[in-house]
Amino acid sequence: MSVVAIIPARGGSKGVPAKNLARVGGVSLIVRAVSAARASRLIDRVVVSTDDPSIAAAARSAGATIVNRPPTLSTDLATSESALLHVLEQQGGTPDIVVFIQATSPFINTAELDEAIERVRSGVEDVVFSAAETHAFLWRITDAGAVGVNHEPAVRQRRQDREPQFRETGAFYVLRAAGFVRAGHRFFGRLGVTIVDERTAIEIDTVDELEMANALAPLVDPSLEPHPIDVDAVVTDFDGVHTDDRVLIGADGSEFVTTNRSDGLGVRLLRESGMPVLILSTEAHPVVSARAAKLRVEVLQGVRDKAAALTGWAEDRGIPLERIAYLGNDVNDLGCLAIVGWPIAVPDAMPEVIAAARVVLDTPGGYGAVRELADLILTTRSARIDEQLEEPWLYPSAVQS
């Protein structure tokens, strides 16, 4: 059976401006949704419907096909179903199964998603959607006061005596496509529920929910070892990254820092692989210049707006920001961390930096953090090259030597 995932992601958002590009755990919501769908063993193609060029660029870089959503289907009143039907019309031909994924749910578990697809594929159900089990007592407020919705207030049952109910999470809906086209709505035929982990059942519609999701990310995001960091350039801060953020001051006011030889070898290995490396520092000091010269890498220092400097550097070299890894440790790195595809922090970084990072390294700054990052990147690059050699038809633009 053919299975197509469709992710509607319009640019307009009232509760959280540019919501689909907001980051949770250092990764934008749209990239999280595309990545979850692409990780499925059952989904053949991932399509993002959007009216926003920035969302389209992010989704395309994550591996999605883009369908341009017309203005009439991008208003606050437009339904998600209308976007799904538009994609099916534009793509030509109806797949067997449509997987409707909402980017506002950042913690989609691929195993749970595949379970839902399998159930529709088997013919057991026509629609399977994500839901979290709940035993909550619900109330409705009326002019006469509060009224019990799913319970009788005069009979206070224990949790174990109450039949569980299921709260729709909004993360995904797996639909038999022909039935969906006929019904024009996501709920038709025989309905089923895939029960998801309650910790992941958050849907982001407000700034508070976005903050909650970022707090949850370290607890519920899957841990990947080693992290597959696939990038085209590496940019690092200096103090607290190449050094341990301490400074020795002589009686004459001269300053000294310590660096790590293993970091130097890691940078050399990156350079030899053809990867550009930049040191970007707010401080302007001869020691920064000396270390960059020793490592034979570019350096920009005395920079007040690091994000603007990084953007200019990337544009000059034709490197998309989403293909850059930035390693930082302090609040003056937050601007850079917010614009690159791989925001990375050392483990002793400031809490705000840890929260903004997609990956937090194991090694502190000044003790081999840069080497750890280099090894992760080069491991990913080596694996990708091996895959290209084994399956070159997947990489038609790859040039083999």
Task: Give the predicted TM-score (pTM) of the model.
Answer: 0.77
Task: Tell which residue, 212, 204, 117, has the closest CA to residue 169.
Answer: 204
The confidence score (pLDDT) of residue 249 equals: 87
Q: Is 214 left (phi over 0), alpha (psi -120 to 50) or beta?
A: alpha
Which residue blocks in 5-76 are alpha helix, DSSP H?
Answer: 29-38, 53-61
CA distance 257 to 329: 16
Task: Tell which residue, 76, 29, 59, 77, has the closest CA to residue 68.
Answer: 59
Amino acid at 92: G
CA distance 393 to 369: 36
Strand partners, 45: 4
Cα separations (Å) of 235 from 23, 25, 319, 321, 337? 20, 19, 12, 11, 10
CATH among 3.30.390.50, 3.90.550.10, 3.65.10.10, 1.10.357.10 for 3-134+166-220 = 3.90.550.10
What contacts 282, CB < 8 A, 6 or more positions away? 301, 302, 303, 304, 306, 332
The confidence score (pLDDT) of residue 396 equals: 45
List, for residues 152-200, the tens digit of each pLDDT value. Answer: 888 888 888 888 899 999 999 999 999 999 999 999 999 999 999 998 9
Q: Is 163 exposed, middle or buried (CB count within 10 Å of its CB: 0-12, 13-18, 19+)?
A: exposed
Q: What are phi and psi of 256, to 5 degrees?
A: -135, 140
The confidence score (pLDDT) of residue 126 equals: 97
Amino acid at 284: A
Cα separations (Å) of 24 from 16, 20, 50, 188, 381? 13, 10, 20, 33, 25
Beta strands in 312-401 (DSSP E): 324-328, 342-345, 359-360
Q: Where are the domains of the chain?
A: 3-134+166-220, 233-390
Low-confidence ranges of the chain (pLDDT < 50): 224-225, 393-401
Q: Enter the tokens of residue 342.
A: 């791989």
User: Hey, is 116 helix, strand or coil?
Assistant: helix
Amino acid at 193: V
CA distance 257 to 290: 12
Q: Enter the tokens of residue 267.
A: 């940078």
CA distance 310 to 328: 13
The confidence score (pLDDT) of residue 102 equals: 96
CA distance 258 to 242: 8
Contact between 234 and 297 (Cβ < 8 Å): no
- Angle at which helix 110-121 crosses helix 29-38, to 10 degrees, equals 50
CATH code, 233-390: 3.40.50.1000
